[in-house]
Amino acid sequence: MAEFGAKDVKALRDATGAGMMDAKRALEENNGDMDAAGKWLCEQGITKSAARSDRDNSQGAVAVASEGNKAAFVELKSETDFTAKSAAFTELVQKLADSVLADGDKGIEKHKDEVDDLRITTKENIEVGKSARVEAADGDVLDTYLHRQDGRGVNAVIIELADGTAELAHDIAVHAAFTKPRFVARDEVPADAIAAEREALEAITRNEGKPEAALPKIIEGKLAGWFRESVLLEQKFVRDEKQTIEQLLGDAKIVRFEQVIIGG
């Protein structure tokens, strides 16, 4: 058995939240191997993972995988960008994306132990976030775009078009990565979201001291602007603002649109 001392027990306790005797036993059971002891504690349910899961994990990384008419992305969340940029983190999120491409959501389960191990070694609230898998219908066009920052993916888009071209799909994917639409079409916007936005715009407009009689027209104008920002089809194409995405599409149709943004 490898030797370990009080400092090792304390380090394991700090990393996992386990009690002194539990930490000591974990090291004894795993020949002094700190990582293996941490995993053993996790398997035994003797960790502070529950408390860690309450911590904000708005950082992370995204990976994309594609093959033929299939594409997938996976978000892996972390507490710090330092962890998200590490080789171990970016390699794992790519593994997850590759597995989701091959096996759908079941692919995530295959890497559960690796996610748990990373949670222990980084001492952060690491968890799988949003994932998506798209398999395009025969004749449809599929494209992906991944925006990278500091060596990690931070914004991923998958788009499927019917009656469109690969170039058009790519243009819209890049556009969406830049504009970050919340919806594809206006009829997808929930009524309560519209009501909440109208209420907020009314409060802002009243505070601006606008005449009461002019309020309805001003509010509706601002609401139309909100739709133009939030709805993909109504956005102006970033490379040619003389036309909207709907006009750019022409006879083509967006069949599926998926996006995930770190911190979004």
Residue-wise pLDDT tens digits, 47-81 = 655 456 667 899 999 999 999 999 999 999 999 99
pLDDT tens digits, one per residue of 32-41:
888 888 888 8
**Domain extents in the chain:** 6-47, 59-185+233-261, 190-230
pLDDT tens digits, one per residue of 138-191:
999 999 999 999 999 999 999 999 999 999 999 999 999 999 999 999 999 999
Q: Calculate the average pLDDT of the chain.
A: 92
Residues above pLDDT 90, as percent of the chain = 71
The CA angle 107-70-246, to the nearest 5 degrees, is 125
Give just the sign of the alpha carbon dihedral 107, 110, 115, 116: positive
Q: Which fold has domain 59-185+233-261?
A: Tetrahydropterin Synthase; Chain A (3.30.479)
Question: Two tokens at 222?
Answer: 């601002």
The 8-class DSSP code of residue 238 comes to: T
In this predicted structure, what is the pLDDT of residue 113?
87
Q: Under CATH, which number does the domain 6-47 receive?
A: 1.10.8.10
In this predicted structure, what is the pLDDT of residue 21?
82
For residue 102, give the nearest of 141, 131, 78 by alpha carbon: 131
In this predicted structure, what is the pLDDT of residue 75?
98
Question: Two tokens at 153?
Answer: 């993916």
Amino acid (1-letter code) at residue 23:
A
pTM to 2 decimals?
Answer: 0.79
In this structure, the dihedral spanned by the alpha carbons of residues 140, 156, 188 and 167, taken in order and rounded to 10 degrees, is -40
Q: Give how far Cα 67 sits from Cα of 63, 89, 172, Å.
A: 14, 23, 20
Indicate the range of 14-23, 83-92, 113-122, 137-146 predicted with least confidence.
14-23
The residues near 199 (Cβ < 8 Å, ≥ 6 apart) are none
The answer to whether residue 220 scores a pLDDT higher than 90 is yes
Measured CA to CA, the distance from residue 22 to residue 16 in angstroms comes to: 10
In this predicted structure, what is the pLDDT of residue 19?
73
Q: Give how far Cα 43 sits from Cα of 16, 39, 250, Å.
A: 12, 6, 55
In this predicted structure, what is the pLDDT of residue 15?
78
